[in-house]
Structure 1
Amino acid sequence: MAAEDRNDTPDGYASPACFMHEVDPAYMGLEMDGVGSKAWRKAERRRLIDRRVLLGVSERERRTAQICGHLDQLLPNIAGRNISLYWPFLGEPDLRGWMASATGATCLLPVVAEKQKPLIFKSWRMGEALVRGILNIPAPLNGEERLPDIVIAPLIGFDAQCYRLGFGGGYFDRTLAVLEPRPVAIGVGFDFQEIETIHPQPHDIPMDAIVTDTGIRFRKESTAVFGSEVRPAP
């Protein structure tokens, strides 16, 4: 996102780590039916963000509460786990209250330590100090750097294969590609953000599951990472 666009951001909020300016066209790669993938993704992002921002406050809170309920179902045993969330922006579901009520888990926030490099993760609790980091993203002032067991990533769009359309910076994909051991990756958003396909590029990494206000969608190859009580029947 251009710097001039960020000037309208309320002081208490900033872009989570995937909310970056568009990457170089060479990085985005392929073309689809004669339309450059960069242009197509930019148009889809704008359309889906506009629809999300138009949600009223009460409707967004209602849908977010349903997402939290599905996360409780998907992650029934999170004590002792390091869970990366995100700072909500442009109408994204605000999961900070859900994390604050999670007993025994440690909340992490993703931090851009260096542009176009994998993210790092630092511990954070509601009320702890934040600073403006690289790209104007809130980062924990005194957080401890940790590796996440679970990464919960916001999305702009998603498809049936659990591919996630983000803001185009590639930070989550770049990070998931190198983390070892690989954390469980969960995308969160509203049901109307589903599209037929995001036209995944070679660098795109699918989520293990997508959680929306209407339910949980599992990636077929990843169901084994979740307990049998939440996995879909064979």
Structure 2
Amino acid sequence: MSDEDRGDYASPPCAAKEIAPDYFDPLSVDPAQARDVARWRRAERNRLLAARRSQDVAALRAVGQALASHVAGLVAARFPSLNGLTLSGYWPIQSEPDLRPLLSAWHAAGAAVALPVVETRHAPLVFRRWTPDTRMVRGEWNIPVPPPEADRLRPRIALAPLVGWDGEGYRLGYGGGYFDRTLAAMQPRPFVIGVGLQGARLASIYPQPHDIRLDAIVTEAGVQVLRENA
């Protein structure tokens, strides 16, 4: 059972799909509203994942290449030198665009690259060092991860996969709550770039206090959100 199914990690409001975002109280923690929005998020997640799976291989490859170009441009604009910088990416699952070529390019440029790993359920993620030659092992949900002996790193820049997103910089993920939990525990917090599809934009995810705004959101159409104070 996911955090959202239990109502622990969900966001209001009631009948979220039918009411305007400006009606929503982001500080509300009403249990009934939380249950309603958890169901709404689950339905939206299923819809968006189905749409993503419907793309053919060529289209998904083109999206991945465009995303990689835009993410690389954003990172280069804010961090002129990658040498010695620690960045975290993620292994593509559920028809996500494949950014592994970008991670390899960052590694070749002298950056330390890490991937997130679930070592303890319902606890913050850890980040293990990855290189193109890393021998991967099966982690939680059979996702390939670097092995336990890989160095642990603390990323300065972190890529976050998006199932959905909104114009305020909030993220709809897979429902486990891991990424928000991890960011809440990290000090200093990394510069976080959400990476997803342009068609996955939502009017709002109706954030609750546990939801953490990302610093930027990038899609195949370019940079969509960039917080001025990030």
> What TM-score, normalized by structure 1, do the two folds share?
0.82
Letter in 1 for 2:66: Q
Q: Say whether the 8 Å CA contact 1:83–1:150 is kept in structure 2.
A: yes
Aligned to 2:43: 43
Q: CA deviation at 1:136?
A: 3.0
- Once residues 26 and 112 of structure 1 are traced to their aligned partners in structure 2, the CA distance between those partners, rounded to angstroms, is 19
Deviation digits for residues 53-112 of structure 1 (CA, Å, limit 9, x no counterpart) = 111111111111111111121011322211111111111111101110121111101011
Matched, 1:212 2:194: no
SS of corresponding position for 1:101: helix
> What is the CA–CA distance in structure 1 between the aligned matches of 2:50 and 2:141, rounded to whole Å?
22
Deviations 1:103-161 (A, max 9, x none): 11111010111111111101011231111223433221132001011110101000000
Paired residue secondary structure (2:70): helix
Work out the CA distance in 2 between the residues paired with 1:125 and 1:26: 36
Give the C-alpha shift of residue 45 in structure 1: 0.4
User: 1:86–1:152: 8 Å Cα contact kept in structure 2?
Assistant: yes
Report the 3-state secondary structure (helix = DSSP H, G, I; strand = E; otherwise coil) of the residue aligned with 1:186.
strand
2:228 pairs with one of 217, 223, 227: 223
Question: Where does 1:107-122 land on structure 2 (aligned, <5 Å)?
Answer: 107-122=113-128
Q: Which residue of 2 aligns with 1:166?
A: 173
Identity of aligned residues (%): 40
The 2-side partners of 1:27 and 1:57 are apart by 33
Structure 1 distance, partners of 2:49, 2:98, is 15
Partner of 2:195: 188
Question: Mean alpha-carbon deviation: is it higher for 66-75 or for 39-48?
Answer: 66-75
TM-superposed deviation, 1:224: 4.1
Which one-letter code corresponds to 1:95 in the other structure? L
Q: Distance in 2 between matches of 1:157 and 1:133?
A: 24
Contact residue 3 and residue 9 of structure 2 kept, 8 A: no
Give 2:130's aligned residue. 124
TM-score, with length taken from structure 2: 0.83
Partner of 1:134: 140
Residue of structure 1 equivalent to 2:14: 32
**Residues 139 and 145, structure 2, Cα contact 8 Å, conserved in 1:** yes
Q: 26-35 vs 41-50, which deviates more? A: 26-35
Match in the other structure for 1:81: 85
Question: Does the alignment pair 1:95 with 2:99?
Answer: yes
Change beyond 3 A, Cα 1:68–1:26:
closer
State the partner residue of 2:154: 147
RMSD: 1.8
Q: Where does residue 58 of structure 1 map in the other structure?
A: 58
CA contact (8 A) 2:88 2:157 kept: yes
Q: Any conservation in 1 of the 2:128–2:151 contact (CA below 8 Å)?
A: yes
